[in-house]
Copies of this chain bind each other. A is one copy, B any other.
Amino acid sequence: MLRDRSTIRVRIRGSSEYDVRFGPLEHLPGGMRDVGLRPGRCLVVTDRNVAPMHGLRLDASLKADGWEPRLLAMPPGEQTKSLAHLSAVYDAALGWGIDRSTPVIALGGGVVGDLAGFAAATLLRGVPLVQVPTTLIAQVDSAIGGKTGINHDAGKNLVGAFHQPKLVWSDPGALATLPEREWASGTAEVVKHALIADPTLFERLEHDMPRFAQREASVVHDVVRAAVQVKAAVVSKDEKENGLRAILNFGHTFGHALEKATGYGVLTHGEAVAIGMRAALYLSRRFSPALDAVRAERLVRTIATPAIPVDLALAELVEAMRSDKKASAGRLRFVLLRRIGEAYVTDEVAPADVDAAWMHALTR
């Protein structure tokens, strides 16, 4: 899968393949040419935080290469993944008069990537998409694999499509200015990737977490690359979550429920996943006594998470789990670890064990 130090290839079965490339934003236009996109109009979807930091220099780079970009800066935050904001993207794109060759460039974090990606999936039944993730969580996870979508009153990501990008362009420099809490959120997904599929990355993180947390450039680059490798390998084998891809949801059955039960926006996605991984590790050890859950949990606990409201009822959390879209025919599915670096999916967890796992995760 490795082509050179700065490229990781994603191969989707029965679909196109594309590269995750690393480099400064200024080199993106060259990357777009490399994948056959020819200068013309392009729609850059970003948010109002990212626009002043990265939007303007991307705009200048695109113009210098002959593109006619239009920048659309959405409000930051999860609320933007709505039908109303999707409609605003449609209006901007269709009112402008795009055609089927007009790319949508998603510049920002997971919210922008999911919204712009879903717009690209559905404008004219699909236009080219370029993901330019500027957060850690987007670079190692959400920008890769083609999941796009918006939220609904009934839950997160309930409306969406699979739409693979033509190119994912990650600028490691963009991570330097990321707020501390967003960094922690992304770190949770990095740790998750290590736990489910990469024992070498796990060991590296055990040693280098302090340097990673201080964003030492060489450590960040190595760790991000390794985490991207895990994501790319998994989605290459299973685009649509019928099998292997489900392991990417390690910690997520608990995490999604926690986000929902605490009210969206109280916890970041990564914080919820970090707490969810503690619960999942507890369950994992019950099924696999040989798992070194203490060591795994020690790494997970290096991720800062806020205190959880103590009045959160277990019944509420379990109910929130049942409404997850991954619940099939009412059965709860969990991703558990057999050992560090090896995950599997099971729907044979007893309700009492789920309760115990919650108790373990929510008490420090």
Contacts and interface: CB of A to CB of B under 8 A. Distances in A.
A158 B328 contact: no
Interface stretch (A53-61, A120-128, A225-233, A297-305): A120-128
A160 interface: yes
Interface in A116-175: 118, 121-126, 147, 149, 152-155, 157-162
A205 B71 CA distance: 53
Contact of A97 (B118, B160, B323): B323
Contacts of A15: 14
Nearest to A118: B122
A312 interface: no
* Size bracket of the A interface: 35 or more
Given A125-B162, A125-B240, 4 more contacts: A100-B325, A100-B328, A122-B161, A125-B161
A360 B14 CA distance: 46
A94 B154 contact: yes
Nearest to A86: B83
A327 interface: yes
15 contacts: A40-B329, A94-B152, A94-B153, A94-B158, A95-B153, A99-B328, A118-B122, A122-B122, A123-B158, A124-B158, A125-B147, A125-B149, A125-B157, A125-B160, A126-B162
